[in-house]
Structure 1
């Protein structure tokens, strides 16, 4: 009986060990399956990363080409802009010399606001009769010289702006034509624009604006005769493209 009891006890212990080993095997199988799944996921992730790297390299290559094109285009446009500025400067220098040679510099002023923006101011009293928008013949040669300069800066927009002093129009006959300084300043600007277009076929009408600003943008004191004379003017503005 003692032997039988001992054998039974050993068998039970052996069965317990077998169960324990089976549990360990099951756990190892689970761990192995999890490891295999993780490796499979890692392989998939690695494949995705490699594909993404491939796409990124292609995008970087395209971006490099685009940046090169953009840089070249910027350099080209900047060079063209600098050439236009130089062209404008040369044209204004030439205009100034012509005006000085013909003793017209006192009636025409050239102001270079920026290297790509200039204003040519005409003394209205020298080129228009008082209260009139009809051009005197003395302005024809001036406008011709200005037109030559404008044609040498073909990308510039040209704003021709009429200005008056603050004295109202009192003549009954003139009031019928120009009820206020608005109409007079606009008519004078339009007369200058018409002459530029009719006698200089190289100018495109699309480049020109005729604007009447009346008495509302003075550059001097309207309380003195000298100030009012300065305010009676035509401004021809050479504007850069896009302004």
Structure 2
């Protein structure tokens, strides 16, 4: 198994295929990021590869994750398209492959054996799940032969995912937090503004620092603007006090940024 997982990752959602993605990935790597997150559905895996090639950092020093699209979750489609993603990314094996959403063609009896076989065949190093509800997560963990390395969900101070964070600690996998600054809705939260002022930081940086203070949580902020990419990286240096962490812990509103009718939590 290659490559070390870095907790603060660089998300590439909505980075357009082409120079925006290529330049963004290259700049993120030059800033210090070593964990790059993409997906088949982002249509930018090839650009991620070109961005990596634009830097002096070798693939062996990077952790590259991608996700199976919801139409590619039958056994045959999952195993075939994972190989296409591997080739597009220009890697010998995908460090981490997620099921993006347990909807549409997701079938535990087909999808999960495909993930196991992709690991056995050396196409994928680690298995990930994304946007699973607790019962779906438990079922998948029970069915899979290989361990789940990560579960990726929306997580930020306004949606703290306590149950899923508890499961991550219990099962010893990472909770990878997408939309970790709630598309900057955190900027309007008084408590985060106050704590940010005390650290000469922004509410977004405080949100990332709060996530990094939690056990087994790994935020993957997406940013196209180079200054934002660097500001996100600097959040690693913010040392929140126990009191500040406690104040942020009270902010959970169950407020989702990513929500749609077919989402698993709308069909409980």
* Coarse TM-score class (shorter-chain normalised): under 0.3
Greater RCO, CA 8 A, separation 6+ = 1
- Higher alpha-carbon Rg: 1
